[in-house]
Copies of this chain bind each other. A is one copy, B any other.
Amino acid sequence: MKAIQDLYPDDFSHCYGCGSRNTHGHQLKSFVEGSEVVARFTPSSHHMSVPGFVYGGLLASLVDCHAMATAASSEITDNVAPRFVTAVLHVEYLKPTPLGSELEIRGHVTERSARKAIVEMTVTVAGTVTVRANAVAVRMPKTMQS
């Protein structure tokens, strides 16, 4: 099974967070698992906020990309996933996220219209939810496609 991000059109596979063609980036990979979309990611040692804990900006970045993949997951046609972009991103850091373990990011769509989707997510590490987040994903506007 391919990651949703690997089904984005080649011209839009350069995202720093999840683009397969961005060799500098995080290359997040999100997969459909039942009624949810799941990504697993192990931060590097330099992705810290303070020693021992994951940088909140990285967590925001991961849920951002994961939300766009989750929004696209049910609209894949002919092995191509449509590209959504973020209108709103809301992240609640429930507790510090320890560095050194794999993160599990789970997302599902709670509302959808023709143009947008609302995605809710959690980040779990070693069985504990440390982050809750939601995002408003919108179809990429034509102004970004030129």
User: In the complex, A110 Cα to B78 Cα: how many Å?
Assistant: 49
The answer to the question of A41 belonging to the interface, with a C-beta cut-off of 8 Å to chain B, is: no
User: In the complex, A105 Cα to B140 Cα: how many Å?
Assistant: 25
Chain B contacts for A80, CB-based, 8 A: none
A contacts with B, residue count (CB < 8 A): 45
Q: Is the CB of B93 within 8 A of A90?
A: no
Q: Is the CB of A24 within 8 A of B50?
A: no
The one of B50, B88, B96, B144 that contacts A96, using a Cβ cutoff of 8 Å:
B144
User: In the complex, A57 Cα to B46 Cα: how many Å?
Assistant: 17
User: In the complex, A52 Cα to B141 Cα: how many Å?
Assistant: 13
User: In the complex, A86 Cα to B97 Cα: how many Å?
Assistant: 12
